[in-house]
Structure 1
Amino acid sequence: MRLKLTDKDALVIVDVQKDFCPGGALPVPDGDAVVQPLNTYIELFVRAGLPVFATRDWHPENHVSFKKNGGMWPVHCLQNSKGAEFHDELSLPPDAFIINKGDRPELEAYSGFQGTLLDSLLRERGVRRIFVGGLATDYCVKHTVLGGLNLGYQVFLLLDAVRAVNVKPDDGRRAVELMLRTGAVCVDREDVNV
């Protein structure tokens, strides 16, 4: 597939934070491998004058997702902590839109659209197609892709710029299959041109 970027496109980078990379509180296996491919996409979108969005988990101490509060995950991505920072080598442009999610204690938010301004900001800019990569394929990437599809966006999954947690073996593969069945299109860098 060959895709030419248009003024209706945006890049959405999901949760490429230190806590989700090797050495973090909730590391995705090989999670930092998404950084270089994402930097290539960032360069492409910036060159085309297109918007770049980056979501991040931004949890309060008493967040519902933490095991100590009855959730399923260790404490991760606490607001203003080192672990909540984006990976040091992720080259976000200065004008990237930073979208905080999961910042209310009672709201689990896997999707970048849940409880955020992402949809409004995209619509204000006339965006119709979103290109999504980041962490993790089987959680926040999947839910952001499904959220985008439900809101009427055409969604392209950047297959070379995602990695899965795989709590159960094959969770990542099953997540990709679900996204495809729901209407997402898988692409990689070879497919996308200015």
Structure 2
Amino acid sequence: MQISDRDVLLVIDVQNDFCTGGALAVPGGEKVVPAINRIAANFTNVVLTQDWHPGDHVSFAPNHAGKQPFRTIELDYGTQVLWPSHCVQGTVGAEFHGELEISRANLVVRKGFRRGIDSYSALFENDHRTPTGLLGYLRERELKTVFVAGLALDFCVRFSAEDARKAGFEVAVIEDACRGIDLDGSVVATHRSFRERGISIVSLEALL
């Protein structure tokens, strides 16, 4: 598969808190780093996203008396999973993994910094209305195909891929450069969603 100057690699949330030892570790999360570094060298356009929460964020279970992580609550924008506190602004956990090659990035998009709303997607917050600004960037740059990698496959990667596809881009998820949480069958649901929406699943080797 040939990568062109109209393609972009979107690297989702490869941060310390999502890797082994982190506050919300994705199993094997750090294993995506070598794969992403290899493939990023072939892209002219690379965008990184960074979860960037205030300590009193609405999605943090400790901010809700008596609520445990991974339970859900209802907010005005829908059902919200309650997470352990993670990727708090200015903390080591919020930093990119130390071995991630970030110098190739053209843009870093921070998300989840509004206290009252979570943000899985790189394009829109969880109300599906509040933009991060990335969509305008992609369109102004006249980019065509969005390749998605990172953490976690079944949450932030999934939402980002779906929103990019809905916005009219061709979308391919580099599955072996992702890892999932798999909460109540969420990985299977993610694969089904990708098939239904015409989002491709590609391998790292196909792009090298």
Does the pair score TM above 0.5?
yes
Correspondence 1:87-106 to 2 at 5 A: 87-93=97-103, 95-106=105-116
- Partner residue in 2 for 1:20: 18
- Partner residue in 1 for 2:128: none
Structure 2 CA distance, aligned partners of 1:143 and 1:167?
Answer: 15
- Determine if contact 1:163/1:172 at 8 Å carries over to the other structure: no
Q: Which runs of 5+ in 1 are unaligned?
A: none
1:177 CA drift (Å): 2.4
- 1:44 match: secondary structure: coil
Sequence identity, in percent?
38
Q: Which runs of 5+ in 2 are unaligned?
A: 65-80, 125-130
Structure 2 CA distance, aligned partners of 1:180 and 1:64?
Answer: 32
Structure 1 CA distance, aligned partners of 2:107 and 2:169?
Answer: 18
Does the alignment pair 1:55 with 2:70? no
Deviations 1:88-134 (A, max 9, x none): 11112254311000110011111000131111111111111100000
- Determine if contact 2:51/2:110 at 8 Å carries over to the other structure: yes
- Partner residue in 2 for 1:162: 178
Looking at secondary structure, tell me which structure has more helix per residue: 1
Change (3 A) 1:11 1:109: same
- Give the TM-score of the pair, scaled to structure 2: 0.85
Output the amino acid matched with 2:166.
N
Does the alignment pair 1:172 with 2:187? yes
Structure 2 CA distance, aligned partners of 1:154 and 1:144?
Answer: 12
- Give the TM-score of the pair, scaled to structure 1: 0.91
1:173 CA drift (Å): 2.9
Q: Which residue of 49, 57, 73 maps to 2:83?
A: 73
The runs of at least 4 consecutive aligned structure 1 residues that moved more than 6 Å come to: none
Structure 2 CA distance, aligned partners of 1:74 and 1:35?
Answer: 23
- Determine if contact 1:42/1:92 at 8 Å carries over to the other structure: no
